[in-house]
Amino acid sequence: LMTDRHGSLIASALRVFPLTRHLYCLHHLKGNIAQHIQGSLQASWADFTQDFWKAYRAVSPDEFDRLWNELVVRYPTASSYLQEEIYPCRDRWAWAWVGTVFTAGSRTSGRVEVENRVTGVLGGTKKSFSQVFDALNARTLEQSCNDMISVRQSSRRQHPNANLENLFKTVLEQVRKYAGPYALQTVYQQMERSVYYKTEVVLPPQGVKDWGNFNNFDNDSAYVSTAWLIWLIRNRNMSVQHLLKVTHGSTGAVHYIAVIDAYQHVCDCCMGLSLGIPCRHFFQALSASRGKSLLFHMGLIR
Ligand SMILES: [Zn+2]
């Protein structure tokens, strides 16, 4: 559930969806912050927003706290609003927490706002709720059909890469058969990018038997830190069988994939968790593992 942090929505979400994870729209959050502190910060507002987004992108809760403390010290006039209103709900908007939650890639409530306008156009004032519901369903169905037809028609023209067709033959067969157009296009793009990386199995340091006891990673360029990733996995009573290091051949960018078993993995880029479509690092590791430590299945596409 993603809302604009309005008090009435928070209260009703607690009552109606008590077990649903409630996140806050970033666009509205930014608007609220601007409304309350932009005036007092004046010329330093631009610097503040830069520092704020840096804290937002923190790779772990510890890193978030460190950057947040710097933020409130650097901007004392904003400090009480930030500490009282924005910090307490950090697990509902900051990347270290939200990045590992499936949101179909959304970080704002923008899609719903657009749908609201469409509902207004389709509904008008004289239609019943059930008529609006039917009209919306018909529109969605028509859109998916059109999208699917255009993807199938252009599939050959857009996907001329024979290497890729070979490398991911069975995966592409499944995805073309069962996935929707957006997932198909995204999977193909990620496969294309995956060939620029290489995969290595990371060996635990001497004397360390379990990845959970090892948190000495220093990969701040990743989206969530590997230590935080492993903590999240262990917190769900699962353990990490292998840790794979996926490195880009020319930029040297490094990502880690924690393999829980052949069917479950988590990449620190969070694309699979947040968007629900496997990332290029997974496809690289998949092609490197040749069906051993990782397997593709349609459940990876949500
Ligand atoms: Zn990844």
In tens, the pLDDT along 138-162 reads 766 666 666 666 565 555 555 567 8
Residue 137 lies in a domain: no
**How close is the Cα of 271 to the center of ligand 1, in Å?**
6
269/200 same-domain check: yes
Residue 144 lies in a domain: no
Residue 190 lies in a domain: yes
Q: Note whether 268 and 219 are within 8 A (CB).
A: yes
Q: Residue 84 has what pLDDT?
A: 96
259/184 same-domain check: yes
Residue 174 lies in a domain: yes
Residue 111 lies in a domain: no
94/223 same-domain check: no
Residue 136 lies in a domain: no
Residue 194 lies in a domain: yes
60/191 same-domain check: no
91/172 same-domain check: no
The structural domain count of the chain equals 2
**How close is the Cα of 30 to the center of ligand 1, in Å?**
27
Q: Residue 50 has what pLDDT?
A: 93
Query: Is 59 or 89 the better-scoring residue by pLDDT?
Result: 89
Most confident of 6-20, 80-94, 114-128, 226-240: 80-94
Confidence of residue 215 (pLDDT cuts 50, 70, 90): very low
> Among candidates 296, 293, 261, 260, which has minimal Cα distance to 279?
296
**How close is the Cα of 89 to the center of ligand 1, in Å?**
27
**How close is the Cα of 216 to the center of ligand 1, in Å?**
20
Q: Residue 29 has what pLDDT?
A: 92
**How close is the Cα of 279 to the center of ligand 1, in Å?**
5
194/294 same-domain check: yes
163/250 same-domain check: yes
93/166 same-domain check: no
**How close is the Cα of 27 to the center of ligand 1, in Å?**
25
163/261 same-domain check: yes
Q: Determine which of 77-86, 198-207, 231-240, 282-291 has the lowest per-residue pLDDT on average.
A: 198-207
68/189 same-domain check: no
Q: What is the pLDDT averaged over residues 274-296? A: 90
**How close is the Cα of 189 to the center of ligand 1, in Å?**
13
Residue 191, domain extent: 159-300
Mean pLDDT of the chain: 84
**How close is the Cα of 269 to the center of ligand 1, in Å?**
4
**How close is the Cα of 111 to the center of ligand 1, in Å?**
25
Confidence of residue 211 (pLDDT cuts 50, 70, 90): low
**How close is the Cα of 87 to the center of ligand 1, in Å?**
28
Which residue among 63, 98, 133 closes a domain?
98
Q: Residue 226 has what pLDDT?
A: 84
Amino acid present at 40: S
Q: Residues lining ligand 1 (ion), CB within 5 A?
A: 267, 269, 279, 281
89/163 same-domain check: no
Which residue among 51, 76, 98 closes a domain?
98
Query: Is 266 or 118 the better-scoring residue by pLDDT?
Result: 266
